[in-house]
């Protein structure tokens, strides 16, 4: 039985930060499928509102007057980006959420949903990760600044709930993938990075690709359209203070993942594992029972189907390299 306080989204003015981004664009489409008129969806652009600046966030709330906030805006990236820019990842992710939550509190919003991250979990959490294990250790070092910044927003929301009755909800989301993902090698996560690497090598006639680490770590991946559906379900049906995992509940090794992407992209060369590069967290896989019990979410798109769709999208939209 789902125990929750239903929120009438159709009658709400919904502010979605990061609404034009990878995840945000899919969340906006899911809200529209729920019958939310486009006029009630408030999608601020970073060129108009700098969420790192408190006065800009205050102006955003004055000018848009939202009833509900979905906070998706974030500075994100793979292991390389996290390692190169840890200060930026910590500061910007923390301060955006702090300012947004404070202004939402002052404005009296009816629900504030923050999308957090699996990177907040301790490095050696027992698999599958249960929400109750969130504080039992320090996150994996390469993305700890990002994970801790996001986890601090969980603390802020719970503190605000207890002192002010603030309706904060926090989701812990696994690695996402799918159409419109970031395929820039300097910032992308593992799936888009591997897809681009394989397709580029195939097109350029190269006979090998180099992959970071030794292939032993495991990861869990959630197709972006499933993630968007889960976020909207939580927004509508979940109103409690406990964080909730959002994932597929399926674990796969990086080595197995590479094999799937090699086959889907038609790359016929060899794989060279660069074990001088970091593996990241040894294992990641979530216990997704709380999401199922509290607001009825379960992933529908399996990894094979989702990868195939992502490869098709990338190949249909990419600018092909010029080969001399």
SS (H, E, C) the chain: CCCCCCCCHHHCCEEEECCCCHHHHHHHHHHHHCCCCHHHEECCCCCCCCCCCHHHHHHHHHHHCCCEEEECCCCCCCHHHHHHCHHHHHHHHHHHHHHHHHHHHHHCCCEEEEEEEHHHCECCCCCCECHHHCCCCCECHHHHHHHHHHHHHHHHHHHHHHHHCCCEEEEEECEEECCCCCCCCCCCCHHHHHHHHHHHHHHHCCCEEEEECCCCCEECEEEHHHHHHHHHHHHHHCCCCCCEEECCCCCEEHHHHHHHHHHHHCCCCEEEEECCCCCCCCCCCECCHHHHHHHCCCCCCCHHHHHHHHHHHHHHHCCCCCCC
Q: Which of 49, 121, 146, 177 is catalytic?
A: 146
CA distance linking residue 278 with residue 276, whole number of Å: 7
Does residue 146 have an active-site annotation?
yes
Q: What is the number of residues in the chain? A: 324
**Site of tokens 């700098």:** 50
CB 284 within 8 A of CB 251: yes
Task: Give the active site residues.
Answer: 146
């Amino acid at each position: 039985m789902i125990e929750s306080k239903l929120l009438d989204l159709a009658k709400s003015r919904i502010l979605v930060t990061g609404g034009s981004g990878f995840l945000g664009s899919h969340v906006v489409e899911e809200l529209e499928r729920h019958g939310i008129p486009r006029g009630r969806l408030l999608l601020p652009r970073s060129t108009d509102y700098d969420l790192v600046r408190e006065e800009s966030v205050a102006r955003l709330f004055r000018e848009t007057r939202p009833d509900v906030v979905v906070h998706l805006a974030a500075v994100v990236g793979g292991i390389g980006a996290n390692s190169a820019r840890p200060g930026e990842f910590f500061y910007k992710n923390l301060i955006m959420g702090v300012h947004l939550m404070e202004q939402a509190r002052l404005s009296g919003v009816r629900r504030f949903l923050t999308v957090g991250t699996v990177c907040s979990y301790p490095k050696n959490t027992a698999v599958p990760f249960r929400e109750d294990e969130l504080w039992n250790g320090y996150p994996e070092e390469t993305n700890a600044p990002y994970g801790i910044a996001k986890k601090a927003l969980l603390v802020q929301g719970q503190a605000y709930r207890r002192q002010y009755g603030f309706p904060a909800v926090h989701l812990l989301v696994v690695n996402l993938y799918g159409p419109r993902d970031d395929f820039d090698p300097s910032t992308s996560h593992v799936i888009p990075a591997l897809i681009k690497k394989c397709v580029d090598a195939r097109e350029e006639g190269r006979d090998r690709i180099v992959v970071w680490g030794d292939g032993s770590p495991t990861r869990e991946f959630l197709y972006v359209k499933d993630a968007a559906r889960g976020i909207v379900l939580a927004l509508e049906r979940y109103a409690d203070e406990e964080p909730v995992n959002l994932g597929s509940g399926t674990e796969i090794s990086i080595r197995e993942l590479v094999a799937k992407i090699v086959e889907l992209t038609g790359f016929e060369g060899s794989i060279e594992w660069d074990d001088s590069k970091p593996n990241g967290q040894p294992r990641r896989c979530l216990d997704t029972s709380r999401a199922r019990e509290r607001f009825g979410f379960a992933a529908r798109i399996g990894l094979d189907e989702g990868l195939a769709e992502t490869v098709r999208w990338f190949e249909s939209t990419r600018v092909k390299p010029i080969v001399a």
